[in-house]
Structure 1
């Protein structure tokens, strides 16, 4: 029988796997922003990789500014992309495909379980798409009217306008940032 040795310095604290109201609100607004109609067609946010990369850019405006520069997009209103702003809540970690938050499963589970977000198979792929339900869209609309979410909503609009790309493309953009590319697995990125 082989003994399993656990390196405590590599383990992730349990609290990082828990959902928070801040994370749920942020992801609800992000998913809603990407599941609004375009050209009369219902949409969804395509997959967890794309969700994680967009959330990373939403949470870390200094990296959003740098990615926009990489792809040659003029920087929008600097108040919306305040690069001095600290992350909205817990820091993301480096995993196989770049930044990831261990709480995503709990956050998505909470949003799905409360009927705010639905998951559907994506056409022509084996992936899953996330979109707001009518209840979730209504709640997101109400939250959008609250001034305290104006910066998040403005960033979501910037993301949708300039970075509505595949998760793989977004991952490639993020790997052009040294603090992402040079980090090791489980290392916090910020």
Structure 2
């Protein structure tokens, strides 16, 4: 047991990649990797990735953020059909919600040639976009009805919340579940 009362094996599991998490992040990155007309773009930075993933995994918070910014959520489908977060819960860290497995997930996606990471121009940050193989896999995942909810949420995120990581962080800091939690505490 560590000082937080978490068994050692359970703590290690938080840092591992899962197929579900890889599929979710692949769909998220792919959703932000294309412009109309086939022009490439990227999801800019881990902060933005983490904030978008938080909203993807916690639909009740996504609905609240959208409503707070004037989006009529009745017109965009069922965001809150699943009350529980997808996959495992995220924890509060320095800049808001974070999943300790991001490094393993991104490493797995990059290592398999599904996602590429590159230096953003004029920045120290990294951009992420799907490769041709990653795009093909994302298309196949979207055709599987078990990924319908995730795909719908990614489309909503792209349409209404394609903002900078800092802007998204500011949106999340309006949520008491974020601001009132302590570092390493799981977010509900």
Aligned to 2:54: 56
Using structure 1 for the length normalisation, give the TM-score: 0.92
3-state DSSP of counterpart to 1:130: strand
CA distance in 1, matches of 2:143, 2:156: 18
CA distance in 1, matches of 2:5, 2:184: 7
CA contact (8 A) 2:76 2:156 kept: no
Q: Where do 5+ consecutive residues of structure 2 fail to align?
A: none
CA distance in 2, matches of 1:51, 1:59: 12
Using structure 2 for the length normalisation, give the TM-score: 0.92
Aligned to 2:3: 8
**How many residue pairs align between the two structures?**
185
**Deviation string for 1:89-146 (max 9, x for gaps)?**
1100000000000010000000000000000111222211000000000000011111
Correspondence list, 1:144-163, <5 A: 144-163=142-161
Correspondence list, 1:146-185, <5 A: 146-185=144-183
CA distance in 2, matches of 1:143, 1:84: 19
Correspondence list, 1:109-148, <5 A: 109-148=107-146
Q: Cα RMSD between the aligned structures?
A: 1.8
Structure 2 vs 1, CA of residues 164 and 138 (structure 1 numbering), >3 Å: closer, same or farther? same
CA distance in 2, matches of 1:168, 1:73: 20
CA distance in 1, matches of 2:39, 2:156: 20
3-state DSSP of counterpart to 1:118: strand
Aligned to 2:83: 85
CA positional deviation for 1:74: 1.1
Aligned to 1:3: none
Aligned to 1:187: 185
CA contact (8 A) 1:10 1:186 kept: no
Q: Where do 5+ consecutive residues of structure 1 fail to align?
A: 1-5
CA contact (8 A) 1:118 1:133 kept: yes
- Which runs of 4 or more aligned residues in structure 1 lie more than 4 Å from their structure 2 counterparts after TM superposition? 76-79
